[in-house]
Amino acid sequence: MPSGRKGSVPRGANLLKAAQELGVELESICGGRQTCGKCQVIVEEGHFPKHGLTSRPDHLSAPTAREIEYSQENRLQGRRLACAAEVLGDVLISVPEESQARKQVIAKAASERTIEIEPAVRLVYVEMQPPDMSDARGDWERLQVALEEQWDLKGLSLDSSALTALQSNLRQGNFAVTAAVWQNREVLRLQPGYREGLYGLAVDIGSTTVVAHLCDLRTGAVLATEAAMNPQVRYGEDLMSRVSYANSEPQGLSRLNRGVIRTLNELAEKATAAAGLLPTDILDAVVVGNPVMHHIFLGLHPRELGGAPFTPAVSSALDLKASDLGLSFHPAARLHTLPLIAGHVGADNVAVLLAEAPDEQDEVMLIVDVGTNAEIVLGNRQRLLAASSPTGPAFEGAQITHGQRAAPGAIERVRIDPLSLEPRLKVIGYDEWIRPGASLPHEARATGICGSGIIEAVAELFLAGIILPDGLFNPAAAERSPRVRYQGRTGEYVLADESLTATGLPVVITQNDIRAIQLAKAALYAGSKLLMNHWGAQQVDRVILAGAFGSFISPYHAMVLGLIPDCDLNKVVAVGNAAGDGARFALLNRNLRQKAARLARWVEHVSTPLESSFQDEFVAALGLPHSRDPYPTLAPFLPQPSADGRTGRRNRIREKHQLV
């Protein structure tokens, strides 16, 4: 149980072997030496576990001295070690979840996805014969034999750092070692005696933000998540200015590359410290990013990605040594980069596919991973389309007057009362809604506004009638509230006055901020729309809103803003950093790396900026929520436009045409 398998095994076979013969894989690191305790089972029938280990069992052999010792140290509580208990008659055995070899973990709460833990690196414990004069073989050759005999691992190679430490590790462990084996092909690390720790890092290199998840490769648990600004931002906020920088400066590529490598090292340092580990405990890593980030990370010049035909240097997945890239993980640590779909649709997009698995759905899914460069995926198991759209960094808080990263002090949620035009706020690091005039502890004072806060703020301004469908401030609102004020000819809204901020200056949303958000959301929407046109979808069944920026986006506000097309609001889900999740999945399960390679070849890519209709769709998407496409779902919520307002909006949008 719970597999329900049954069968006969030779009398005296232990339960570990018996389970294997019946096709049930039990966890085991020590290979049946009653050391690791991973193969614990519950005997349901044919034995008297209730009476304790020392009672005379009926159909299982009595516990060995080693099992009793292990049991006392670790409180087995009636369980048996499968490797110690020999079958003497009919028994019914339950395998608790933690003893199953291929554990499933809930890897993604929002979409309730579970994945099997089957990392590229695994631990095996071996015991060897000590050397003697009759045996001329080296330590490594004897270890190879032990690995083959005890784990059926054949033809392994040995990383040079493991080779250097081989002799001392074997002797320190009295010729018993725990080997970390990569892809059943190479021994990366040896540790004396029996060990358990096995860790990896999943990294999403965004144009603006770099996120790293430190994972326990045996349990699948995320031990720590750290994020940092991409230091390349100082050389340009969007991808094209980074490409230009690499093109124009002789040391440009090297500077961009060193910056992101340093950032990864710092993230690894922080994440491992948070988990009580060291960066050198990291044995495997998966890195994703858009094609420009991917190339710069690998030290490849992004020049060719800057223009047609957008040819990447390499599009397939790579298996590298982390140290070759300058990463200070374990000297033998491996690093896997997911494949690109095309020169403008990157490994981050592939990671989004892994995380959300639209290829396994019947529903037509639209996945929008919002960042400085947004990834868009549309389709289902029949057909998948992918594109990227240069949104700009507005959604990450850049180019916004009081924008900031999602960090303590950032306004992340906004509500505006349509009658009083007064706001309510939520600030990261403080649980309560904040109203004007509140008396606040220091940590509740706002320092700025992050991506999700801006989306909500602009949507709420529109819902409250403070800004019009064309994004301009409504002069009538200025007459109703002192929060709406004009600096010369352009309006602004005071979101948090001095008393609510840490700086002592108000946090405002300006006309320029709103325009930046309009441009960004129009680029996103136009990209989605082009994919829908390509796919032949009039509407989508489900929308996944993903993005690394701070806490989750509010689906309702994203739709009010017109960032996504109309859809049943119950079918719009915000999932956080999907690209980072995909990197994590590929870290935890090596089969998903192969799936990623298949997906990268199968998915069709659409080059949105080269599509002739992109410009038209972009302009039409500038309005709130949209100048042309209907949003029946939102009808009850939107302010009633006056006939005059409509006309005025159209005229003004035409004027904005000049801006594009």
> Which positions lie near a second copy, rule CB under 8 A?
131-133, 135-141, 158, 160, 163-164, 166-168, 298-301, 303-304, 308-316, 320, 324, 340-343, 345, 605, 607, 610
CA distance 647 to 583: 48
CB atoms within 10 A of CB 601: 11
The CA distance from 520 to 105, in Å, is: 36
Q: How far is the CB of 396 from a second copy (least distance, A)?
A: 27
Nearer to a second copy among residue 343 and residue 562 (C-beta): 343
The tokens describing 208, both together, are 């603006």
- Residue pair 280/197 in contact (Cβ under 8 Å)? The answer is no
Give the shortest CB-303-to-a second copy separation in angstroms.
Answer: 7
Q: Which of 290, 261, 280, 293 is nearest to 214 (CA)?
A: 280
Please give the distance of CA 302 from its chain centroid, rounded to a whole number: 24
Map residue 279 onto helix, strand or coil.
helix
What's the min distance (Å) between Cβ of 377 and a second copy?
15
User: Which residue is associated with the tokens 């940590």?
Assistant: 443
DSSP state of 118: B
- Is the Cβ of residue 9 or residue 597 nearer to a second copy in the bound state? 597
* Closest to a second copy by CB, 187 or 410: 187
Judged by beta carbon, residue 69 or residue 149, the one nearer a second copy is 149
Least separation in angstroms between CB 638 and a second copy: 40
Q: Looking at beta carbons only, is 602 or 637 nearer to a second copy?
A: 602
Minimum distance from residue 343 beta carbon to a second copy (Å): 7
Give min distance, CB of 301 to a second copy, in A.
6
Expressed in angstroms, the distance from the first to the final Cα of the chain is 64
Contact 446, 501 (CB under 8 A): yes
Nearest to 491 by CA among 475, 507, 476: 475
Comparing CB distances to a second copy, the nearer of 385 and 394 is: 385
Give the CA diameter of the chain. Answer: 100
For a second copy, the closer CB: 344 or 595? 344
Q: Are the CB atoms for 429 and 443 separated by under 8 Å?
A: yes
| Residue 231 beta carbon to a second copy: minimum distance, rounded to whole angstroms | 21
Tell me the three state secondary structure of residue 538: coil
Side-chain-facing half-sphere of 241: CA atoms under 13 Å: 14
Closest approach, Cβ 179 to a second copy, in A, equals: 15
Nearer to a second copy, 167 or 642 (CB): 167
User: Residue 59 or residue 258: which is nearer to a second copy going by CB?
Assistant: 258
All residues at 6 or more sequence positions from 365 whose CB lies less than 8 Å from its CB, including other chains: 356, 358, 377, 378, 379, 380, 540, 541, 542, 543, 544
List b or e across 363-374, with b for residues whose CB sees 16 or more CB atoms inside 10 angstroms. Answer: ebbbbbbbbbbb
Residue 324 or 443: which CB sits closer to a second copy? Answer: 324
Select from 109, 524, 115, 548 the least CA-distant residue to 348.
548
- Strand pairing category for 113-116 and 104-108: antiparallel
What are the DSSP E strand ranges found in 183-221? 186-192, 199-205, 209-216
Burial of 145 (0-12, 13-18, 19+ CB in 10 A): middle
- Given a contact cutoff of 8 angstroms between Cβ atoms, the answer to whether 219 and 584 are in contact is no
d(CA 439, CA 425): 14
Closer to a second copy by Cβ: residue 311 or 647: 311
Look at residues 573, 554, 579, 503 and name the one whose alpha carbon lies nearest to residue 227: 579
Taking the least distance from each CB to a second copy, the nearer of 24 and 181 is 181
With b for 16 or more beta-carbon neighbours within 10 A and e for fewer, the 264-275 pattern comes to: bebbbebbbeeb
Do 631 and 566 touch, CB atoms closer than 8 A?
yes
Query: Which residue reads 């002799």 in tokens?
Result: 167
Residue 331 beta carbon to a second copy: minimum distance, rounded to whole angstroms: 10
Question: Smallest gap, in angstroms, from Cβ of residue 299 to a second copy?
Answer: 5
Q: Of 385 and 425, which CB lies nearer to a second copy in the complex structure?
A: 385
User: Among residues 20 and 607, whose Cβ is nearest to a second copy?
Assistant: 607
β-pair type (176-182, 572-576): unpaired
- For the CB of residue 600, give the shortest distance to a second copy in the complex, in Å: 9
**CB 134 to a second copy: min, Å:** 8
Between residues 138 and 475, which has the closer beta carbon with respect to a second copy? Answer: 138
CB of 49 to a second copy, least distance (A): 45
SS3 readout for 142-175? HHHHHHHHHHCCCCCEECHHHHHHHHHHHHHCCC
- The answer to whether the CB of 587 falls within 8 A of the CB of 182 is no
- Are the CB atoms for 88 and 60 separated by under 8 Å? yes
Nearer to a second copy by C-beta: 303 or 652?
303
